Amino acid sequence: MFDSSRYRYRFRIVIPAYPAFNIYSHIAKKTTALGPVCVASAANKMAKWDVEVIDENNLGRLGPVSESGGADHEFLQQQRPADVVGLYGGLTSTIPRLYQIAQFYKKMGIIIIAGGQHFVEDNISEALSSGVDYVVIGEAEETITELLEAIENGRDADEVKGIAYLKNGKIVFTAKREQLMDFDKLPLPDFSLVRYANIKIYPVERIRGCGMDCEFCTVKGKPRYAEPERLLEHISLLVETRNAGKFFIVDDLFGQQRDETIRFCNLLTAYQKRIGRRLDITVQIRLDKARDTELLSAMWQAGVQTVAIGFESPIDTELKAMNKHMSSSEMVSLAKIFHRFGFLVHGMFIFGYPLKDGAGLDIPVEERVRCYKDFIIKAKIDTVQVMLPVPLPGTELRHRLARQNRIYQRQHIGWEYYDGNFPLFEPDKPLTSEQVHTCAKKIMGRLYRFKYMFLIVVNIFSFPALIFFFHNIRLGWQKWYRPWRNSLMRFGGWITLKKWNIAFKRNKFPQKLQIARQHLIQAG
């Protein structure tokens, strides 16, 4: 029960743990989610509230880990009792863990707030019946301060915009909150609020929203921009106070506001020259930006080293179904431009995307896999991520597959499998669910191999020879770094795939899939 007579209160935001080991597990120990940090930073400006973030995927060496995984919340409550707990529902696969945490705190009488991309449509009623008191709809920086203030003063939450909650057994949706447009009125995200975490890669942003309207994506709406100076201020603050050197700009499409993006790159270049240090920056960008050589040059000068590109598929029929407006041959040519500029290219693919007419592809499975493998080699892609299509809540893809009665029922294949590593619906014929899953691993297995362990050693010993050959340390470094880094990443990818296969077998997913398919056939 909330005690409104106290002088100070604690608000704890929890980022729930992944349900099992997956391909994100390694990187998750080096970074954290930006959204919860933004919300915590806004709440931390309130006069009577102390705020902390607990990332269950990154608890560092000193974090309290429970025997079952995730954080030891009983220990946290003993050490630093929370009055209100916020739960981050940005990843659908973590929702079962979110509900588990909600019910733990609910038994103690703690008020539970949840928010994130998952909470749309009927998922809100699911949350409110699973221990959550308030669901924040949309961006939460302004909503959270109003809601905490209402809780603090014992007021009804009816006047807080952008939330849903139960009142007299019925769901109340308050007035819709307009999207944030003026980001300068928000505090800069404060990563010191994230307890225990060992953060090596800092997520930062300048642009929210994406106008591409892909049917499989939850990020919609006209892009909204902060000034380049704000992002530079945030990066410089992290460099100067936390010795940060690696950044991931989480904007869905870097370069959407071209001229301002170039201006930001120029500002960042000047800053790095002033401090005498080169930063390591990763961005997500459209493949067609390869045609803009001025932008690419500004990015390279600013320290952008890795570009994450959504190729999605090397098969033209699937590209058309995804509204990519580009052929596979064009994609190879454009990817090579990024490569020539010196960028490391991380390719993101979706295998087995369902065509809108449901007819499927008249291409043998082995040939489809070979198309992916050949494309990756031709395009000179450094690292790859091959996911399966995920019918996320609120997406047109989910609506389309639901109308066709193809999605496996959640009592058999629950939310915990919605991370892109598992088949979640009946694929287009002649593919089977088992083939879709196996093929994705085969494609990644083409790049991630054990042999790269030996190449790491070879690359290390080749460094002095390259310096001697080029008579220039910087040029020798540039020629050496890419093959060394790729060997390291690809051997690490091989280890990750091995661990994931072990976790997959322990999970007994094949048996669950068989049951889910049988029930779907019977229901159809």
Taking the complete model, does pTM exceed 0.85, yes or no? yes
Report the 3 state secondary structure along 109-172. Answer: CCEEEEECCCCCCCHHHHHHCCCCCEEECCCCHHHHHHHHHHHHCCCCHHHCCCEEEEECCEEE
Report the 3 state secondary structure along 368-396. Answer: HHHHHHHHHHHCCCCEEEEECCCCCCCCH
Which whole number is the average pLDDT over 363-382? 92
User: C-alpha distances in angstroms, 281 versus 204, 265, 277, 319, 334?
Assistant: 10, 11, 13, 28, 21
Here the tokens at position 401 are 């597959």
Query: Which amino acid is located at 500 in the chain?
Result: W
Determine contact, residues 311/346, Cβ cutoff 8 Å: no
Q: What is the DSSP pairing of strand 201-204 with strand 246-249? A: parallel
Q: What is the DSSP pairing of strand 170-173 with strand 201-204? A: unpaired
Q: Is 42 left (phi over 0), alpha (psi -120 to 50) or beta?
A: alpha
Which whole number is the average pLDDT over 409-437? 92
State which fold the 208-397 domain adopts. Answer: TIM Barrel (3.20.20)
Residue 270, helix vs strand vs coil: helix
378-398 burial, b if ≥16 CB within 10 A, otherwise e? bbebbbbbbbbbbbbbbbebb
CA distance 55 to 33: 8
Question: Where do the domains of the chain lie?
Answer: 9-173, 208-397
Residue 255, helix vs strand vs coil: coil
We find that the CATH architecture of domain 9-173 is 3-Layer(aba) Sandwich (3.40)
CA distance 212 to 188: 27
Q: What is the pLDDT of residue 225?
A: 95
Q: Where are the alpha helices (DSSP H) in 243-364?
A: 258-275, 293-302, 316-321, 328-341
Strand-pairing partners, residue 136, are: 115, 163
Which whole number is the average pLDDT over 157-164? 96
> pLDDT above 70 covers what percent of the chain?
95
Strand-pairing partners, residue 111, are: 84
| Reported confidence tier of residue 457, pLDDT bands at 50, 70, 90 | confident
| Reported confidence tier of residue 497, pLDDT bands at 50, 70, 90 | confident
Here the tokens at position 272 are 């790095």
Q: What is the pLDDT of residue 467?
A: 54
Which whole number is the average pLDDT over 197-212? 93
CA distance 269 to 47: 38
The owner of tokens 């100070």 is: 8
Here the tokens at position 277 are 């240090």
Q: What is the pLDDT of residue 498?
A: 85
Farthest CA pair distance, the chain:
78
Q: Tell how far CA 221 is from the center of its chain.
A: 18
Q: What is the pLDDT of residue 363?
A: 85
Determine contact, residues 27/201, Cβ cutoff 8 Å: yes
Neighbours of 151 (CB within 10 A): 21
The owner of tokens 């705020």 is: 51
| Reported confidence tier of residue 38, pLDDT bands at 50, 70, 90 | very high
**pLDDT for 334 beyond 90:** yes
| Reported confidence tier of residue 464, pLDDT bands at 50, 70, 90 | low
Q: Which helix (H) or strand (E) holds 11?
A: strand 9-15
Q: What is the pLDDT of residue 425?
A: 96
Q: Which of 499, 497, 465, 490 is nearest to 479 (CA)?
A: 465
CA distance 189 to 34: 8
**357: which DSSP letter?**
T
User: Across the chain, what does the average pLDDT equal?
Assistant: 91
| Reported confidence tier of residue 463, pLDDT bands at 50, 70, 90 | low
Four-point Cα dihedral 189, 109, 138, 218, nearest 10 = 100
- Name the most confidently modeled range: 82-86, 436-440, 487-491: 82-86
Here the tokens at position 454 are 């030996």
CA distance 393 to 390: 9
CA distance 155 to 209: 33
Q: Which of 409, 399, 440, 392 is nearest to 23 (CA)?
A: 440
Residue 227, helix vs strand vs coil: coil
